[in-house]
Structure 1
Amino acid sequence: MGKLEGKVVIVTGGGGGIGGAICRRFASEGASVGILDLSLEAAEKVRDAIHASGGTAKAIRCDITDRAHVDAAVAETEAKLGVIDVLINNAGWDVFRPFVDTEPAQWDKLIAINLTGPLHLHHAVLPGMAARKRGRIVNIASDAARVGSSGEAVYAACKGGMVAFSKTIAREHARHGITVNVVCPGPTDTALFAEYKEGAGNPEKLMEAFRRSIPLGRIGHPEDLPGAVVFFAGDDARFITGQVLSVSGGLTMAG
């Protein structure tokens, strides 16, 4: 029996690199997984992989920037899988360039996906968790929120906001038996990171710089993240809330 047998989990951005790895890990631990993604095709690929391994999952198209989409996705998840025990806010997007070279339209999109979207999910899911007096929320932020990152000013601001928001919600809902924690990936080999490398102009030089600066000697893989997320979602973390954990190979070691 897995650590999360019988639990229902929703993962935003569940069709992506990190999101897909998180979904597959939760399913392997016995959870039923609602895979929310803007791309239904991507979500379905993860669902099919979970089904092939004997797990339970539902693929749902969801634009987290649209509250009506979020409400519908939450309702569909609960109708098909049961009430939501665990919320994982993983979906994100970034644009890599110096702040003075960005435009307000880009700020709006960054804020909508990286900050407002997760707020929609919290607002949709928290009342049910509070009524049931139980729940786990894990927000995927970024080490950019903790130490800054050149070329990611607005993204870092959004992720920093998520850290502060998570701590506040952890305080507000502790009395309801809900824990809220944050996982901060460092550089991780995803499609978004591939865009970042290409934008840098010299991808190999950038990768070598990362290899030198990360004590464990490589950038992260999507499979490096789910262990920390599952830990916060499980009973072993029942007395942990409002905390931030970096999964970065030691690139950042902030207290």
Structure 2
Amino acid sequence: MSLKSRTAVVTGSTSGIGLAIARALASDGANVVINGFGDADAIEKERAGIEKDFGVKAAYVAADLTKAEDCEKLIAAATETFGSVDVLVNNAGVQYVAPIEEFPVDKWNMIIALNLSAAFHATRAAVPGMKARKWGRIINTASAHALVASPFKAAYVAAKHGIAGLTKVVALETATFGITANAICPGYVWTPLVEKQIPDQAKARGISEQEAKNILLAAQPTKEFVTVEQVAAFALFLTSDAAAAITGSILPIDGGWTAE
């Protein structure tokens, strides 16, 4: 197991893509620190499930990543609990949709804080330890919107383009320390959140659920959702020795969306 005795921190990992990545890293032997909001009992069930399913240690840290000090506390808590942070997955994110002239300033500030600045603060805190140990993997969950834009998503697209730039800078600065930094760019992923949106979209538009799915998938030539397991497997590969030469890359996993 290539990640045995290593520690992974995955932000926004109490459900969806983040939880799938945390479980994939645990399956390869990593102790994991999960983070995010949600029902306390459900989070504890997921944390305990990781330990039971994979025979590793798992901790939960309820940091509010819109605050710089909480990002730093997350890395400090993981280091104190397990001795190091070897893999950092900056995955936490949120979305809001509105025309630019109507976009609420507080929503802009919150999305930039969580989707972009949190990755900076966590990376800044984790890199010194990685440099000292001469090994590290930084994986940023970006989006197809790190490469292309869509209307009405000013903050999200700006943040994801920013993540792409941040990833490249970190990769260049850490290239001689055994550290890689890459961004994964999923298209539409089948998550509980998306699954919940389908019937609501169908009802609002007076269409079938299949037609509602088709609207979401219009941008993806495969006409299939990406699965959380596919994204997690991609992230796990990027932690491997086979991926040691991949750094500074902005990597689509989007059913062909950004090929058009």
Per-residue deviation, residues 194-216 of structure 1 (Å, max 9, x unmatched): 57654794373341134454333
Q: Distance in 2 between matches of 1:81 and 1:92?
A: 25
1:82 is displaced (CA, Å) by 2.1
- The amino acid across from 1:233 in the alignment is T
1:13 shift after superposition: 0.4
User: What residue ranges of structure 2 are gaps of 5+ in the alignment?
Assistant: none
Q: What letter corresponds to residue 29 of structure 2 in structure 1?
A: G
Q: TM-score, normalised by structure 2?
A: 0.89
1:83 aligned partner: 84
Q: Distance in 1 between matches of 2:219 and 2:157?
A: 20
Q: Structure 1 residue 227 and structure 2 residue 233: aligned?
A: yes
What residue in structure 2 maps to residue 208 of structure 1?
214
The DSSP-based 3-state class of the residue aligned with 2:181 is: strand
Please tell me the root mean square deviation across aligned C-alpha atoms, in Å. 2.1
Q: Which residue of 2 aligns with 1:245?
A: 251
1:236 maps to what in 2?
242
3-state SS of 2:8 partner: strand
Bigger drift between 36-45 and 123-132 goes to 36-45
8 Å CA contact 1:144–1:159 kept in 2: the answer is yes
Q: Structure 1 residues 155, 192: CA separation in 2 closer, same or farther (over 3 Å shift)?
A: farther
Helix, strand or coil for the counterpart of 1:92? Answer: coil
Per the alignment, residue 61 of structure 1 pairs with 62
Instruction: Give yes or no for contact 1:188–1:222 (8 Å, CA) kept in 2.
Output: yes
Aligned length: 253
Displacement after TM superposition at 1:221 (Å)? 2.3
Establish whether residue 10 from structure 1 lines up as the match of residue 9 from structure 2. yes
Name the stretch that deviates more: 97-106 or 130-139: 97-106
Question: Aligned letter for 1:64?
Answer: L
Task: Describe the shift of the 1:192–1:114 C-alpha distance in structure 2 as closer, same or farther (beyond 3 A).
Answer: farther
Tell me the secondary structure at the aligned position of residue 176 of structure 1.
coil
> How many angstroms apart in 2 are the aligned matches of 1:106 and 1:117?
15
Structure 2 counterpart of 1:44: 44
What is the CA–CA distance in structure 2 between the aligned matches of 1:134 and 1:175, rounded to whole Å?
10
Question: Closer, same or farther in 2 for the Cα pair 1:69/1:38, shift >3 Å?
Answer: farther
Residue type of the partner of 2:188? P
Q: How does 1:115-134 map to 2 (within 5 A)?
A: 115-134=116-135
Q: Residue 153 and residue 126 in structure 1: after superposition, are their counterparts in 2 closer, same or farther (change >3 A)?
A: same
Alpha-carbon deviations, 1:9-61, whole Å to 9, x = none?
00000102111111111111111111122347254232122122133211111
**Partner-residue secondary structure (3-state), 2:130:** helix
Counterpart for residue 24 of structure 1: 23
Structure 1 counterpart of 2:222, one-letter code: L
Check conservation: 2:13, 2:22, Cα contact below 8 A.
Answer: yes
Structure 1 gaps, min length 5: none
Alpha-carbon shift at residue 177 of structure 1 (Å)? 2.0
The secondary structure found in structure 2 opposite 1:37 is coil
Residues 26 and 76 (structure 1 numbering): CA distance in 2 closer, same or farther, change over 3 Å?
same
2:104 paired with 1:103: yes
Cα 1:150–1:206 change in 2 (3 A) is: farther
Instruction: Find out whether 1:161 has 2:162 as its counterpart.
Output: yes
| 1-structure distance, mates of 2:165, 2:83 | 30
Deviations 1:49-98 (A, max 9, x none): 21221332111111112222222222221222221111000000011233
Q: Distance in 1 between matches of 2:223 and 2:33?
A: 34
Cα distance, 1:61–1:103 mapped onto 2, change above 3 Å: same
Contact kept, 8 Å, 2:143 with 2:186, in 1: the verdict is yes
Residue 192 and residue 119 in structure 1: after superposition, are their counterparts in 2 closer, same or farther (change >3 A)? farther
Q: Provide the TM-score with structure 1 as the length reference.
A: 0.91
Per-residue CA distance 1:157-182 (angstroms, 9 max, x = gap): 10000001110111111122211001
Per the alignment, in what secondary structure is the counterpart of residue 184 of structure 1? strand
